[in-house]
Amino acid sequence: MSKSKYKIIAESSNNLRIELIESINQEDSIQIIELSRELELVFGVNASFNPKNINKYFNKNTFPFITRLEEKIIGFIIGVPLENFSNESWSHYDTNLGKNNTIYTYTYLIKEFYRKKGGYSKTLKMIYINWCKKQGYKYVTGHVKKGISKKFPSQIEVIKIFPNWYNCGYPFEYYRRKL
C-alpha cells in the first residue's frame, strides 16, 4: 500500500502532527471519509467525502491540512485559491476574485470528540492561517452559519448572506478575514 505524500508542518510532544497533503492514500482516505460524515449533520448527505470525490480536494492543487493524533486523523482543513471557484456564482461577490490574494476555506472539521479538548481546533486553524500568510495570501474567506463569524478572534467582513446555503436549511454568511 502506498503512503500518503505530505509535508510535516508542525509536530508536538503529545503526538500531534499537522501535515500538508500532496496526495492521499487509501487508508487516510477511509479515515477522512469517515470523519467527514460529521458534516452531514449540518449540510446533508452530499457534504461528506466519498471515494469518487476525495481526490478533488486532497491533492497538490489544493491545500489540505490534516491533524493526526497518535497516527489517527482527527481533523482537517482544506484551503483552495479563490480563483478555483470562479465558476461558482457566490465567488463573484468577492472583489478579490482574480487578484490571487485570497484563500478560500472549503472545509474545516475536527472530530466532535476532540472539539474543545486540548486546543486541537485552535492549533490547526492557527497553523493554517500562518501558512497562508507565509505563502503570500492577504485574505482568508469561507462560508459559515450566520452569526458564527462574530466569534472569530479578528476583524471579519461579511460579504454576503445566503438565506439557504445549498438547501441546508440555514442562512450562511460568506466572510473575509484579513491576514
pLDDT digits (tens, 9 = 90+) for 56-109: 899 888 999 999 999 999 999 999 999 999 999 999 999 999 999 999 999 999
Phi, psi of 82 (to 5 degrees): -50, -35
- Between CA 160 and CA 141 the distance in angstroms is 11
Enumerate residues 6+ apart whose C-beta is below 8 A from 166: 43, 44, 46
Does pTM surpass 0.85?
yes
Q: Quickly state the pLDDT bin for 44 (edges 50, 70, 90).
A: confident
Task: Give yes or no for a contact between 152 and 125, defined as CB atoms under 8 angstroms apart.
Answer: no
Q: Which of 134, 149, 144, 151 is nearest to 171 (CA)?
A: 144
At 39, list the grid cell: 458534516
- Between CA 11 and CA 27 the distance in angstroms is 21
- Between CA 160 and CA 144 the distance in angstroms is 11
Q: Which one-letter amino acid corresponds to residue 33?
A: I
Task: Give yes or no for a contact between 176 and 159, defined as CB atoms under 8 angstroms apart.
Answer: yes
At 94, list the grid cell: 468577492
- Report residue 11 CA to chain centroid gap: 19
Per-residue pLDDT tens digits for 118-156: 889 999 999 999 999 999 999 999 999 999 998 887 789
pLDDT of 1 higher than 70: no
Provide the pairing of β-strand 5-11 with 102-110: unpaired
- Report residue 127 CA to chain centroid gap: 12
- Between CA 22 and CA 147 the distance in angstroms is 33
Interior/surface letters 103-112, b for 16+ CB within 10 angstroms, e for the rest: bbbbbbbbbe
Running DSSP on this structure, what letter comes out for residue 155? -
Q: Quickly state the pLDDT bin for 161 (edges 50, 70, 90).
A: very high
